[in-house]
Amino acid sequence: MAALRAVDETVDFAKIDDRAPSVARLFVDRVAATPEAEAFRYPQGDGWGSTTWQQVGDRVTALAAGLITLGIEPEDPVAIASSTRYEWVLADFAIMCAGAATTTIYPTTNAPDVAFIVANSGSAVVVAEDWTQVDKLVAHRADLPDVRTVVVVDGEGDGDWVVTLADLETRGRALLADSPSVVADRVDAIRPEQLASIMYTSGTTGKPKGVLLPHSGWTYTAAAVDAVNILGPDDLNFLWLPLSHAFGKVMLALPLQIGFTTVIDGRVEKIVENLAVVRPTFMGAAPRIFEKAHARIEAMVAEEGGAKKRIFDWAVGVGLRVSQARQEGRTPSVLDRLRYRIADRLVFSTVKERFGGRLRFFVSAAAPLDRAVAQWFDAAGIVILEGYGLTETSAASFINRPYAYRLGTVGWPFPGTEVQIAEDGEVLLRGPGVMDGYHERPEATAEALEPDGWFHTGDIGDIDADGFLRITDRKKDLFKTSQGKYVAPSAISATFKGICPYAGEIVVYGESRPYCVALVGLDAEAITDWAAKNGMAGREFGDIARDERTHALIADCIDRLNDRLNRWEQIKRFAVLDRELSIEAGDLTPSMKLRRKLVVDNFADRIEQLYA
């Protein structure tokens, strides 16, 4: 791969400058441009259903009209509380075409937080996946006086407050029969600066903040991806990401801009199985997906042992040399190129088939990806393009390109996005994707947004000579030991999870202390499988976590981690937690981010014991 600089990139700026004024217009234009092309594929019975853009357009128009019958006006918030599924897409596009704004709610969000988001956003209608979600609203109905109607996707209505999605569609078709242009008129009236989404941040500290995103932010992100020619209409996306997360939501704007087909199935447990069946050309995922896939493949090979493991290890060694050469802008030696062809035939072709065999690349975002894991995949001929963005920047601001990627970085900025590094190392961004502010939080908005448009990301990073951005850590998570040395715990966590397949999370602590310690949260699936092979089959999670053999297993991983760290970053003592860190227990946000401060507070006694 030839060395390139960001300033040398070829960009079609006309796609950004001439982009659609709204997500709704982008949708209508896509339906008109390729009406008979496949738009979405989704689980249906034991197989897959499929729909064209025209079919999607017909249903979305009816549902948009249905929302209008419920009294929805332009920029009115309408909430969606659902897992990732085809009906989420229909509801979101319908909200856009009604001129309203989507408020996103994770299906794992507890009832009090659901009530807070719905009430704080001012949502008048809530689309709920099933009665599990409806019951959360019913439990807090007294706190939701503005909610006029709940639309349930799976299940029956109650004849009053709750109607079905089919009922909404029927109402809409009746309105369209009388007023055929009612939805088209709404679409035509939408301005670029009009509110499109209120997306609530994960709330790693305190109540979540509602991020106000205009139509122009989403259309910019889609147009910017198109402008650098990363994707094309012949691509196939497998979308399992939570659509309540900005990373998932932007994946709905991209096919409107570019025209590719999306296969949608939010069942996380089906990802690997679906990849082999769907055979996508690209997929977005959080780093944990790649860490677990890497660990599982390595574990399977180690279990087989013998000649297979020796061949596998040899192939990986060859692949790493070839990957390193590419990263350095060198051509691998003739011998290594020959060896790599053999390695690909013997090993890597099988690995690639596990992911469908047609992948052009994966996209990793939402958290740091361990460089060693990324290089392992690159060695196998599977490119992971790491990207970076926040809810506040319409999901994406940086991404590595297929033709120019640098492991350990999040790539170049999207064309039209400006970046600068503040004196304290914080990454500042300015551009069309940046939010308008936080809903009803003027102080927080003023803190995050400068008057001249620069947004404070809260992340520490640096830019190399070729324009690639490397993120070090969250500014608020950096700490200084009593020896005056700064430690970046998120970077250490990413490295550790790349080393240790049995760890779900690691919390590194050392603020004003002489050395660093760690709390290790185990991955239930991985550790249970390991325990069954090591004389602990059937044991409870807590018993496994407290077992000396488990402690020794994690200690070996900690030792390997320490070999990669500076002396002041090394973990001197650690504790294995006797329960899995989870969303349900409040340790993780709905988007699976660690609530670091909360975990440190909850396990303060364990931390003190490590310093005793």
Above 90 in pLDDT, residue 97?
Answer: yes
Query: 244 and 305 share a domain?
Result: no
Above 70 in pLDDT, residue 157?
Answer: yes
Query: 506 and 557 share a domain?
Result: yes
Query: 98 and 161 share a domain?
Result: yes
Query: 166 and 307 share a domain?
Result: no
- One-character DSSP codes across 110-177: -HHHHHHHHHHHT-SEEEESSHHHHHHHHHTGGG-TT--EEEESSS---SSSEEEHHHHHHHHHHHHH
Average pLDDT, the chain: 95
Position 75 confidence tier, pLDDT thresholds 50, 70, 90: very high
Q: Tell me: the pLDDT tens digits for 168-193?
A: 999 999 999 999 999 999 999 999 99
Query: 234 and 340 share a domain?
Result: no
| Helix-, strand-, coil-residue percentages of the chain, each rounded to 5 | 45, 20, 35
In a domain, 424, yes or no: no
Query: 256 and 131 share a domain?
Result: yes
Query: 120 and 256 share a domain?
Result: yes
Per-residue confidence (pLDDT) for residue 333, from 0 to 100: 95
Name residue 16's beta-bridge partners: none
Identify the helix (H) or strand (E) that includes residue 510: none
Contact criterion met (CB below 8 Å) for 251 and 230: no
Query: 298 and 268 share a domain?
Result: no
Per-residue confidence (pLDDT) for residue 202, from 0 to 100: 67
Q: Tell me: the pLDDT tens digits for 34-58?
A: 999 999 999 999 999 999 999 999 9
Q: Which of 284, 300, 330 is the last residue of a domain?
A: 284
Above 70 in pLDDT, residue 2?
Answer: no
Above 80 in pLDDT, residue 207?
Answer: no
In a domain, 375, yes or no: yes
In a domain, 509, yes or no: yes
- Taking the C-alpha atoms of residue 489 and residue 594, their distance in angstroms, rounded to an integer, is 12
- Taking the C-alpha atoms of residue 479 and residue 493, their distance in angstroms, rounded to an integer, is 14
Q: Which of 265, 284, 303 is the last residue of a domain?
A: 284
Among the listed residues 58, 415, 75, 374, the one whose alpha carbon sits nearest the alpha carbon of residue 220: 415
| Mean pLDDT of all residues in 213-224 | 98
Query: 140 and 251 share a domain?
Result: yes
Contact criterion met (CB below 8 Å) for 228 and 401: yes
Q: Which of 343, 363, 382 is the last residue of a domain?
A: 382
Per-residue confidence (pLDDT) for residue 274, from 0 to 100: 95
DSSP at 345: I
Q: Tell me: the pLDDT tens digits for 439-488?
A: 999 999 999 999 999 999 999 999 999 999 999 889 999 999 999 999 99
Q: Tell me: the pLDDT tens digits for 502-511?
A: 999 999 999 9
Which one is predicted more confidently, 301 or 204? 301
Query: 317 and 376 share a domain?
Result: yes
Q: Tell me: the pLDDT tens digits for 326-335?
A: 999 899 999 9
| Mean pLDDT of all residues in 229-252 | 96
Q: What is the CATH number of the domain that holds 599?
A: 3.30.300.30
Query: 272 and 372 share a domain?
Result: no
In a domain, 207, yes or no: no
Q: What is the CATH number of the domain that holds 109?
A: 3.40.50.12780
pLDDT-above-90 percentage for the chain: 90
- Taking the C-alpha atoms of residue 190 and residue 202, their distance in angstroms, rounded to an integer, is 29
Q: Which residues contact 584 (CB under 8 A, 6 or more apart)?
A: 108
In a domain, 589, yes or no: yes
Per-residue confidence (pLDDT) for residue 583, from 0 to 100: 82
In a domain, 140, yes or no: yes
Position 427 confidence tier, pLDDT thresholds 50, 70, 90: very high
Backbone φ, ψ for residue 314 (5° rounding): -60, -45
Identify the helix (H) or strand (E) that includes residue 242: none
In a domain, 271, yes or no: yes
Domain that includes residue 581, residue range: 479-610
Query: 488 and 598 share a domain?
Result: yes
In a domain, 280, yes or no: yes
What's the pTM?
0.93
Per-residue confidence (pLDDT) for residue 3, from 0 to 100: 54
Among the listed residues 432, 443, 398, 436, the one whose alpha carbon sits nearest the alpha carbon of residue 198: 436
Name residue 104's beta-bridge partners: 80, 199
Position 593 confidence tier, pLDDT thresholds 50, 70, 90: confident
- If one counts the domains in the chain, the total is 3
